[in-house]
Structure 1
Amino acid sequence: MEKAAKGKKDMVLSYVRSLGTQEHRSLMETAYVYGSKYQFILITGGPVLKQLGVNESSQLSQVWFLHCRADDTSMTPVTSERCPSTRMRKALSTLNLHAFLQLLEAPLVSEVYVDPSLVPPPQLPYQLTPQVFLFSHPATAQLDRDVAAALAWRLRGVALLLLVHRQSPAVKTPDKYNAAYRLPEKSSEVKYLTLHSFDEVLTLFTKHEEAEQGEEEDDHVDEDEESHLGELDDEVAAEVYKNRAHLHDMDSVTQLTSHNFHNEIAESSLTVALFYLKWDAVSMDFLSSFIEVAERLEDSHVEDVHMCVVDCGEWTDLCAAQPGRAVPFQPITAFPSILLMRPHQSAQHYRGMLTGEALHRFIMMSREASPVLLSTKEEVTSFLQESPHPDLAGYRPDRALGLFRTESQSGLSVFIEAAKSLRGEVLTGLLTDVVMEEWAAEHAVDPPAVLLFPSWREPANPSVLPVESSSKELLARIYSALLQPVPEVTVESLPSLISLGKALLLLFVGEEDDEIGRRHNQALVEELATVVEQGGAKMERYLPCWIHLGHTPAGMSVLGSYLGSMPPLPALVLTHLPSGDEVYQYPPSAPILGSSVLQWLQRVEDGMESPAGMLGGDGWPPAFQFYDFLKLMDMPETEEEVETEEVDVEEHLVTKRIPDDQLDMKTKLHSEL
């Protein structure tokens, strides 16, 4: 690559410990901006490191600038087979790398004819760069230039070198000094000295930096890293950054690629695939849980589940493939994503909690047929009472039982389609013929019908649902019937409650200190249940629910964001209205009674109540849009992009905003970076 670039393009060689780190992302962002100017090279180890004199066990990422482009004005001695290199001495970050590349574009040596004290400090973008001054005499001017160029090469990327001509009357520095320097400090004081060798200058600027770098290698989490943790997006990103040196053991999972995808899917009755990005903190955090689930399944000798991962940063063609013959799923647009795939079937999305326990439970229930064909009383009893697997002992799932006189009865296909959608969440069974008739008579049900056995209710009292005309309508009825009359809001249940599209009549209760407090909270929840009973059809648009701040402490932040401050407890609010973002608070001084709450809801509907707060307007889009960075960087430049022209920037400033639909992909990505 050096030979190919010789005389044409400078190169930026970067070493990162592993892909997906913060340093890797900084390099990718910089490469996108400077990719047309420099040739970027990325390595994560190998013999190149040894040639550069770097220990591969080092925890520090590093960058080298290879001067391969011949330039007569830069005094670049590109004569050997290898290109001269300059190492970046600061930590790899987007800002440091940008400043380093800007510094290498500065003149190798600048000549001045005034005293160093009269030379202004470096301006943007070199304002944090030291200055070194060498003095030149008329009799040795050419030799002084050569000496200055040689020293400048050794200071490249560290300091700016200026050659001061003593023949100028503005130079007042005594002859006993042959050098001076200025550090990027507020005082901007110039210090003078007498040098006897280059090494004395290099010591001034490199010894301290190398000592700091050595300390960083000895201590992976030093003060700089601790301060960096506070700048990350959230606790998840900070935890991933802190554990970035820990490599995941991928032996228990199969890494899917564009080459082995179809063969791996065909070999197993159930494939669970995690689609992730190495530079997404949530992906990397959940990857650990996913591997733990794979190891747990392996220890339990579960052989019919194939656990796989797809690195969408490496296999962009697979993650962005269009459905059809190529893949059984839509392009992946959010990370991490978990799909359950079976041969000759469409993929099923896992939409549960991103925890190992929740995923393990979902996988174990997904192994069961959906629906299970039941033909005897014993099989029905086992379906309703026994756990689907020993690993799920103690977990009581929701169950649905379809009753149909014959396998060809109207509505059966609707139930089967709904059952497939419920796989992993609800156990579904199918009863036909003689056994079905006995069950229908026992429960006074006229088939076709669906019996629901919610986990919170005794099996002796199932809910009876008619079979709808479509699976979508049937699913909506099933999800609604599985809810408790007044469900508790938890981190796990909130997404499903929000998805119902109803306004939340949300009761916040505090943690009980004794039995009296527990009974008081229970009485408040029961009073909400009377609101449902008394309101009848009017309450269809509302979902009464409650949140226990002892069970779910995050509810305190939610309540504070709703109202702007923490009110006294208990607090009853109306929020997530389909018609707007207003938040209404039930009068804190009024007792929470069913009839009073119904009257208050009517006043809200009539516009007689003022909002107590507003929901935040910020959306939560996917953390990363799916960009194929390599494809973007390889896109040929147009002639307009290549040609440049000097213009007066201030004269050409405009305030007109370009519509988003007229921006091309490159412009959008620049804006995001």
Structure 2
Amino acid sequence: LPRGNRLIREFPTDALFDVNSIVANVLFALLFNEVKYVETLADLENTENMLKGKSNVVFAYVPATGTAEHRAVMEAAFVYGTVHQFVLTTEAALLKATSHDDPDVSSAWLLFCHCQRATDPAQPCRRTALGQPLTLLNIHRHLKLMGAPLVTEVAEDPEKVSTVHLQLGLPLVFILSQKETYEADRRTAEFVAWQLLGKAGVALLSRDLVDLNVLHRSNVALKTPDEGMPIQYLVLEDTDEVITLVEDKNKVKQIQEDEQREEEEEEEEEEKENNNQDIQDDQVVEAVSRDKKRELPLEQVLVLTEENFHSSISEAARTVVLFYASWEAVSLAVLRSYAEVAAHVKGTPGVLLSRVNCWDWPGLCSQENVTQFPTIKVYREGQQPVTYDGMWGTEELSSFILLSRVPCPLKLATVDEAEGYLRGEFPSELSSHHHTSLLGVFSPATGEAREAFEEAGNILSGHVRMGMYFEDDALALSRKYSVSPPALLLARSGGRSMEGIALSKHSVQDMVQMIRYELLDIFPEITVPNLPWYWQLRKPFLILFSAGDISQMESKEMLKLAKGRAQQAFVACWLNLKKTPVGHGILRKYFSTTPSLPVLLWVNLHAGGQVFRFPPEQSITEMNILSWLEKLQAGLEIPSSTLSEEDWKPPLPAYNFLQMMEPSVPELSPHASPHPGDTPVQHPPKSPGGDTAGGDTGTREESSQESTAEEVGSPGRDLRGTAPRLAARDKQGKRHSEL
């Protein structure tokens, strides 16, 4: 292949076996500078990074050069090479690296990489695959679709609307909107458009500008390219149904039949509504009733009565007692967890698991000061019993029981032992528990603080890993960490991070509060079990919702922010939707539909209930977030939604069980409250999802998702029922998950 007198390329004759191979190879040589060949994922990502904000990338994989697919790609590059950057590979490993699924490497593939939209260097390029065989016509069609607007805003009769999608034989989905919910509807339309890219077009149709003669609650319309077919107006509840609507042609008829049946059912429900007020839909009762025929494996749990109670707890070094009522649903649910705990700790020396049915032995339960069911206490020889006030799940109970075997605080005899403790050298009973280690350092002159620390350790036994050093050389040890006795040394991350804190307050209550506060993570992952502790701080949440683990860059930037001066004003945290799926329900209440992730929000649940969304087009960096927070404080940002202040009450006064229980709640000792202003242990503070610090984990997560739906419904909720609400209907009755 010469150009003038210069030889550009020579081709071996065995590579030119047909017309496709000749055209493909010649064009590949001529377009050598326009079509990049890459071998690794790093090469592809480098190309994408160079073109972010400038141009898009068309990435093609062909199993071998000289094929018909290779020719189609090169001919497309010859036409569109000045508009998009074409990238080619024959490496099967690279194809697999760009796909979440397991692609067929014997077939050719083409991905359109949307790098022009990625204006931030840290923002990845979205990729849209060509779903048809690699022919020149299909590539041309795909590139035309990728070049069309993501969402088209229309203000005319849908019958008259024509877009490139309809011209190319694809359907057009209309999201029906109105000005009150425009922002939420726009986000919904963009989310749907990304899911349907290459399969259908998406348009945002304003009801305020077009007089539609359709049901007011219709929120989606579908226009097909078939001539003479009327537009279908539908009522859909979530974005998945919109996507299924496009992908499954039989879905339209099914949805319309479901709507008709649903209207009939709603009329029947309205007739019965007045008769259903006295039905209490309690999750725990439901779960217990469902499993009541299942026999619990309680062979490892000793049954205690008034006759054998005192003799049994005196024989064992440590006795764990569950006080419950056999008629009470929560007790029976906890009994299931307790049976699993018994199997887990079986064979552990020095631990006896037992139970007392307070329905049979009320005198014994009163004698042991049991005022509510269920209650777990740990009895140790010569010490006051410790009451468990954590989650009722198997994992949490097991951790508490095993951790409580070790003296709290653990007294250390030498400086070497103390420093080894801070480095993570623990007794075998503690080695499997990944807690932050605390070491109290006291001189002989600080006896009052030492006694308060020991009493605090007794209260926190089973929850905290605490050590204590009070020998004559304690001053030298504390000065090593720039504090003077009495002091608290915290060793985080297995001793890699050390912090010294002076103990200025010497009361037991202050000591417990301070220890619990210092144990809170700087940038925590919010989960159902730990939310109450951060909720009690009564600060706004700066929370990052993520579909999985957050990236190293996001973690680094958020940690810098959390450690800064501004962190005193809010809780910087994150939530993993894979591990804590209740987050999906929370986001749907904030935005009507789940936004693209990750999403950073400012949520002030304690004052005003306003939810602000960090601009998605900005990268999550400390400087960008601080600048955004300054705008929030100055009142320059508009909230994405505002949470309802509506009270969550029982359906009838007779069901106000909490009010009935209130007079019987006994006075608690000062140390029973972990933070200033806390409610008593019997009624821990509710989380945004309605959870409390105690409760069966088997029922907690579902409960918190449904109660979140009640608490965080926005004032625009009814409006979003006509503009596309696209969230599951809340037909469930309100639940008393506090019980």
State which structure, 1 or 2, has the greater radius of gyration over its C-alpha atoms: 1
Question: When the two structures are superposed, what TM-score results if normalisation uses the length of structure 1?
Answer: 0.49
Say which structure, 1 or 2, has more relative contact order (CA 8 Å, 6+ apart).
2
Question: When the two structures are superposed, what TM-score results if normalisation uses the length of structure 2?
Answer: 0.45
